[in-house]
Amino acid sequence: MRQTIFAGASLLLGIWISLTAGVAPVAAQGPAGAGASAAQGSSHSINPIKWVKKDSRSSTDLAASRSDLEKKLTPNLQTQGLLTPNVNATDACAPFKTLDGCLAALHASHNLGVDFNCLRADVTGVHTSVDVSSCKVADGEKPQRLSSAIHQLKADANAKQATKDAEQQARDDLKAFGS
């Protein structure tokens, strides 16, 4: 019985080795060899470097386009009452990594009646020269999600829904200016 199992296992191992050994040279032939139709028909590269999407614009181009967009948004945000007349979007959004995050915080602040400077300090973790001593923000805190910051500053608010509404309003603002 053991000899039969050993013989069967040896046979399977031999078949497996011969099949895998036969595949390697075919795969190494490249697009002109066998399997070329499979290689050409696949849109997914085997090279993991090609899995990372590359942006054709440089970081300076992105900063310039953000600055231009902030300049265009400022009058609109002031009209909506999100920014006071003496503040522009560039200054208000400076600590934010993304413009949509800043706009969402502006909308949430306005919708809930929460001080924007407090919300900005909670969300970004950056404490600007603006006095935030009256806020429930501790110096050196790590950045929080918008919903967590809303909950911290206004516990009776539905933070998830307020975040969802503010993010939608931010997307609408950006869409109005073609971004």
Can you give the pLDDT of all 179 residues of the chain as single tens digits? 666 666 666 666 666 566 566 554 545 555 555 555 544 555 566 776 666 665 544 444 455 687 888 888 889 889 999 998 898 998 889 899 999 999 999 999 999 999 998 899 889 888 777 776 777 755 556 888 999 999 989 999 999 999 999 999 999 998 987 76
- 47 and 65 in a single domain? The answer is no
The residue range of the domain holding 23 is 2-51
- Together in a domain, 73 and 136: yes
- Report DSSP letters for 59-111, one per residue: HHHHHHHHHHHHHHHHHHHHHHTSS-TT--HHHHHTT-SSHHHHHHHHHHHHH
| 78/154 same-domain check | yes
Last residue of a domain, one of 30, 51, 72: 51
Burial string for 53-88 (b: 16+ CB within 10 Å, else e) reads eeeeeeeeeeeeebeebbeebbeebbeeebbeeeeb
Q: Are 30 and 117 part of one and the same domain?
A: no
Q: What is the pTM of this model?
A: 0.62
Do 21 and 85 sit in the same domain of this protein? no
